[in-house]
Structure 1
Amino acid sequence: MDFKPLVTLLAIVNPLAIVPFFIHYTRDFSPEQRRRTIVTAAFSAFLVIATSALLGLQILEFFSISLASFQVGGGMLLLISSMNMLNAQPAEAKAQTNEFEDGAEKAAMGASIAVVPLTIPLLTGPATMSTVVIYAEKAQSVLQLVTLVGYGVVIGLATAVCFALADPIARVLGKTGINVMTRLMGLILAALAIEVMTGGLLKLFPILGRAS
């Protein structure tokens, strides 16, 4: 059995590195809301990998979308998320009305945050999707394709474990440490967003690379 796709996906997804973002976006959530966010994010990561493996090439061809265009769009999502982090603004920050409405809004927001930006594009962005599509294209049998989908299960479990350990990490760092880490990760994320967008733009417009 070839474990190279799994090792590659673990290196690209790297759920441990996304823990600061998870802490930032769920810092005001209740334990139950956070657990739901973890489950949704883990399942969404698996779903993205499985869909990319089984239907990635067909989906891109159907919509006539290139991987380069996908990179630019993902980079824009990352840049928006980084701006929020640099301003230390939690995604769920809204004017509170009554307790029931606030709880309902946070429950819906938790599901939304779990998908965007935690799963897409932070966990499974253009690099992950394109990697899965490449390995799916190289698959020579149904078993190899099913194995690739199974690796998505491993990625989902790894994501759930890392996010579940976010609470002890938060207790060790404290509020000040989390704020500092949030802004630092926001700055790093902004740089990564520019890198992702630049890579896509250079593929779409090769003349930009020749001009430099």
Structure 2
Amino acid sequence: MDTEIIKIVLAFVVLINPFGALSLFLDLTRGYSMADRRKVARISCFTIFITIAFFTVAGSSLLQGLGISIGSFQVAGGVLVFLIAINMMNGEGNPVKPDQENFDVDHIQAPASMGAAVVPIAIPMMIGPGGISTVIIYSSQISGIWRVSAVIIAGLFISLFCYLSLMMAGRISRFLGDTGLNIMSRIMGMLLAAVSIEIIVSGLRTLFPQLL
């Protein structure tokens, strides 16, 4: 696995951050049977995988169709990811993802509808604008079936990690508590800041090759 793949796996882990959605998942699946809760987790994680795979394959073409240069999108996406990292290090969470308080969980019925598995659990609580932007940025930098496949496989592993996290949501929440989740968010924010700088520098190199 080369350096670029390692970077995108790290970015996936930090940006998707299933731990930030555990409380919402538990609230939305309160009263569900284990089978229904498992189904919600499966649908959510499958949605994450499909989103990653789609933007990995179509990301570069999407930018070209909109007339946006790869360098410009890298700089803009890097700045977005850096702002997310700063907020995470400040303990304020991800600014481009909605707060759990914005969702009225009492109006989402169980188990008749599984729509909540897609919105809001998968999108935008786990993979939001920051995650999608990062997928597009990295997909625009790679070529060849192997490297594209490697990113998609990385997305599969991240999706499985999210599934395991959701299925163990109760245990993780009790073990870490609010303090533990807050500390983890700050550590992930620090790692994400480093990733964002790499994205910005890569974009500047593309835009100004003579300067860098």
Report the TM range for the smaller structure's normalisation: 0.5 to 0.7
Asked if structure 1 preserves the Cα contact closer than 8 Å seen for 2:9 and 2:154, the reply is yes
Inter-partner Cα distance in structure 2 for 1:15 and 1:141: 30
Check 1:91–1:154 CA distance in 2 against 1; reply closer, same or farther (3 A cut): farther
- Indicate whether 1:152 and 2:155 are aligned: yes
Tell me the CA shift for residue 64 of structure 1.
8.4
* Offset from partner CA, 1:1-56 (integer Å, 9 cap, x none): 22111011111111122211211211122211101001111111111111110113
Tell me the CA shift for residue 158 of structure 1.
0.6
Secondary structure, counterpart of 1:28 in structure 2: coil
2:102 to 51, 61, 83: 83
Tell me the CA shift for residue 167 of structure 1.
3.2
Match of 2:111 in 1: 107
Asked if structure 2 preserves the Cα contact closer than 8 Å seen for 1:46 and 1:153, the reply is yes
Asked if structure 1 preserves the Cα contact closer than 8 Å seen for 2:29 and 2:110, the reply is no
Number of residue pairs matched? 156
Check 1:58–1:9 CA distance in 2 against 1; reply closer, same or farther (3 A cut): same
Residue ranges of structure 1 left out of the alignment (5+ in a row): 94-104, 186-212
Identity of aligned residues (%): 26
Within-5 A mapping of 1:53-132 = 53-59=56-62, 78=98, 82-84=101-103, 89-93=104-108, 106-109=110-113, 111-132=114-135
Question: What TM-score do the two structures reach when normalised by structure 2?
Answer: 0.62
Residue ranges of structure 2 left out of the alignment (5+ in a row): 81-94, 183-212
Asked if structure 2 preserves the Cα contact closer than 8 Å seen for 1:25 and 1:92, the reply is no
Considering only aligned residues, what root-mean-square deviation do their CA atoms show, in Å? 3.3
* Offset from partner CA, 1:78-128 (integer Å, 9 cap, x none): 26x5323xxxx42545xxxxxxxxxxx63342x211100111111111111
1:141 to 140, 144, 153: 144
Asked if structure 2 preserves the Cα contact closer than 8 Å seen for 1:77 and 1:117, the reply is no
Inter-partner Cα distance in structure 1 for 2:26 and 2:8: 28
Asked if structure 1 preserves the Cα contact closer than 8 Å seen for 2:19 and 2:165, the reply is yes
